[in-house]
């Protein structure tokens, strides 16, 4: 069953095109990777799905319901949480308050304690740091807090924007093991990454973006073996290098 369907969306930043034509599908229970190099449009796509930036064309459907045009605060209440690029933590509040803020869409307050315990079980580091201000955390801990905060809304679909960015290999391994565990517990995950090998290892399906367009999609195994993927990544690099600066 398809949980999320994005069809031919376009996003503009003023006169500039953020993404021109992106489509993707996320089946229920799967891990889907959204791949592409610098500036390909991964963040723009995730932000459009989350409702942070408006689409100017195409449609976004969650389950059977159109969610494009809905504001971000309404979308997260429908079970779609984003751990955004740059984490966007509330640095002037404690770890625990950040997590509790993540539980805002959960109407039943008594569930908060259980959700909090679950996140602390997934990320014991956060439990140790629960009363510290988020601004005092290391990069890896910040990424854990961003993911934990998104989990606090107990989403059906968790979207992660480059969780490996700027982190030490050991931390990245831990985060990816965690994603595999969460997926086994039934969570659906949409994962934007530049680090393709890592993402393709855990993903069931992958979609590849190139300068704002969907160019390739299929089962992750197939994409991993596709020589086209390497060419796309390198190709973009060549175009970049050839541009006058």
Ligand X SMILES: Nc1ncnc2c1ncn2[C@@H]1O[C@H](COP(=O)(O)OP(=O)(O)OP(=O)(O)O)[C@@H](O)[C@H]1O
Q: Site residues (CB under 8 A) for other proteins?
A: 50-52, 71-73, 76-77, 81-82, 84, 88-93, 97, 100-102, 104-105, 149, 153
Q: Which of the residues 77 through 116 are near ligand X (CB under 6 A)?
A: 85
Q: Strands, DSSP E only, in the chain? A: 2-13, 16-27, 31-35, 57-62, 65-66, 80-83, 157-161, 188-193, 205-210, 213-219
Q: Which one of residues 3, 31, 35, 44 is an interface residue with ligand X (CB under 6 A)?
A: 44
Upper half-sphere CA count for residue 245 (Cβ side, 13 Å): 4
13 part of the interface to ligand X, by CB under 6 A = yes
Q: Phi/psi class of residue 5: alpha, beta or left (left: φ > 0; alpha: ψ in -120 to 50)?
A: beta
**CA distances for 24 relative to 7, 104, 126, 162, angstroms:** 7, 28, 33, 17
Binding string, residues 26-45; x marks residues near Mg ion by CB under 5 A? ----------------xx--
> Interaction with ligand X in 169-198: which residues (CB under 6 A)?
194
Binds ligand X by CB under 6 A, chosen from 4, 24, 26, 36: 36
Minimum CB–partner distance for residue 174 and Mg ion (Å): 22
Q: How far is the CB of 75 from ligand X (least distance, A)?
A: 18
- To the nearest 10°, the Cα dihedral for 68, 74, 79, 84? 80
140 binds, among other proteins, ligand X, Mg ion, none (CB under 5 to 8 A by kind): none
d(CA 49, CA 194): 19
Identity of the residue, 141 or 162, whose beta carbon is nearer to ligand X in the bound complex: 162
- How many positions of this chain bind ligand X (CB under 6 A)? 13
């Amino acid at each position: 069953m398809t949980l999320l369907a994005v069809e031919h969306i376009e996003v503009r930043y003023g006169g500039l095109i953020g993404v021109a034509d992106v489509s993707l599908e996320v089946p229920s229970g799967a891990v889907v990777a959204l791949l592409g190099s610098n500036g390909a449009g991964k963040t723009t796509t995730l932000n459009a799905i989350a409702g942070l930036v408006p689409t100017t064309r195409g449609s976004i459907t969650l389950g059977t319901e159109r969610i494009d045009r809905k504001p971000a605060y309404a979308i997260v209440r429908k079970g779609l949480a984003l751990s955004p690029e740059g984490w966007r933590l509330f640095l002037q509040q404690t770890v625990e308050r950040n997590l509790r803020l993540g539980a805002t869409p959960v109407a039943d307050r008594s569930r908060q304690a259980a959700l909090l315990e679950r996140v602390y079980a997934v990320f014991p580091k956060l439990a140790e740091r629960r009363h510290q201000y988020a601004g005092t955390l290391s990069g890896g801990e910040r990424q854990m807090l961003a993911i934990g905060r998104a989990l606090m809304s107990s989403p059906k679909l968790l979207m992660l924007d480059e969780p490996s960015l700027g982190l030490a290999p050991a931390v990245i391994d831990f985060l990816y093991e965690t994603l595999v565990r969460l997926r086994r517990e039934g969570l659906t995950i949409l994962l934007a990454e530049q680090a393709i090998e890592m993402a393709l290892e855990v993903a069931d399906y992958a979609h590849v973006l190139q300068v704002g367009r969907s160019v390739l999609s299929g089962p992750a195994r197939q994409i991993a073996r596709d020589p086209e993927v390497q060419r796309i990544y390198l190709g973009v690099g060549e175009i970049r290098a050839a541009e006058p600066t």
